[in-house]
Structure 1
Amino acid sequence: MIAFLEKELFQESFPTYNDLQGMYFSQYKRMASGYLKKIYEQDRDAFNQKFADFLEKEIDENREGYLESLLHFTINNRKKLPIIIVDNTDEFTLDFKVQIFQLCNSYRRKVKLCMLMFPVTDKSAWSFSKTDIFTIHQSKSFFLPTPSPREVFRKRIEFLNKTLVTAETAKRREYLSSKGIRIELKDISKFAQVLEDIFVENNFTAKTLGELTNYNIRAIMSLSKRIITSPVMRIEDLITSYLTTEPISYAKFIDALLRGDCTGQAKLDTFN
């Protein structure tokens, strides 16, 4: 959280001395007018060294206090609203999730103008309901609809196409089919269209995976990897689907789902 805030708030991705002096200006004034007043009036360099030592100790040793100061600086100096989003906690234990929830809530209460978003599944929400966490901390619960698996696949494939670097797509990729036919693909981004045909354009694919996993997105993505790396999905089948725009058959899809990627390491390396 500290690293992210520093990157977003400061041009150099870390605060300068002047930034830190502004963040801790109340302490600076307290030291200058209080127990270090004589040093401040008689030897400004010595006072600045004392203040620098204070900053070093505060930043290196009091990390929680430093984070609180960054949040206050975000609100009061930059006039921005901190929003803490804690996602993907469902794989962890209930105790861990409770501790993270309490930690973020403590900062939200300290700086006052702060929003905490803590997405959880129904299972985690049910676990939380058996604790006092919702009564201790003021919060509002919103129930969001389950995202469509087809839309999740579409977003993933769009991201894949955008992040394929030019150097990678410019390479010649050759594959040897089971019949000894050498196939060359010069544009991997277009070949990614095959994945879209399987998981987006075919209505039954995303629907079947969603129903099998109770629309758990993490499980859906795991099953999709199991299918695409399965030996049932041969390279020539995928290329045929790409060239003819004919979708993969439902029978082949189910066969790949059942068999999995037991011998699919080479296929996985191919798509990596």
Structure 2
Amino acid sequence: MTVLLGPNRYGKAETRVVRVTRDGDVHRLKDCNVSVSLSGEMEDVHLTGDNAAVLPTDSQKNTVFAFAREHGIGEIEDFALLLARHFTDSQPTIQHARVEVEEYAWERLAGHSFVRAGTEVRTAVVHSAGTGGAESVVSGLRDLVVLNSTDSEFHGYIQDEYTTLPPTNDRILATEVTARWRHRGTGADFAASFASARACLLEAFAGTYSLSLQQTLYAMGRRVLETRPELCEVRLAMPNKHHFDVDLTPFGLDNPGLVFHAADRPYGLIEGTVLTGDAPPASAAWE
């Protein structure tokens, strides 16, 4: 039997970096979580323990901090590309870099005072084979909680011997959106692109009379692609955050769609991809 080394990568995961930009009494804050994965000529370190090709993960962590100081952190896609290109261009044994960045938003209270802006997280994943090599950018967000209190139905589905869910012509539709969208290249205005894509998701969610969460998912992805020509693919994961009418008849009360129990689990999980007809192959962009 022949045993071979397969695909592999290594890196420093979840380096938390906070960058403060001080413009007199008015400060700006960037709060990020950065994960780096590198791959290349790593056969010897796996097979014989020879570390000559290995850039220590501690060095990767230090690079994140040093680049935050030297270059600042603007759009997280640009920061991720800067890091990825550095690792592949500066180390001959590193042929591919994957950098993932999560950004936690803060809202300004005063010149140098901030409050955390909810639970929503902005995300970016870049892959780079170095300057002049293949690159990809996937932007997105997670933990975006949205709810429609009406204009949602669910009926006409398969009913078998285990079905107890009654059809409904009026229900609460709530979900926690994880969305990622793939760029056609690496030269976009990432700030404008993100703001517009996020707005498209929200507009489509609010403006779609929903007969299923799948229908809403498709409408959201389609709105993004029809609005943003620099994007070619959207992937969405949307758990159905169920809200059930509470039976108040034991207390002599009716409940005409006013009081609900918000159940956290189990939940339906709806996932889907929406893409343009001319979308280039994704290769490793989503990994």
Q: TM-score category by the smaller chain?
A: under 0.3
Rg larger for: 1
- What TM-score do you get using the length of structure 1 for normalisation? 0.25
Write 1 or 2 for the structure with the bigger share of helix. Answer: 1
Write 1 or 2 for the structure with the bigger share of strand. Answer: 2
Higher relative contact order (CA 8 A, sep 6+): 2
- What TM-score do you get using the length of structure 2 for normalisation? 0.24
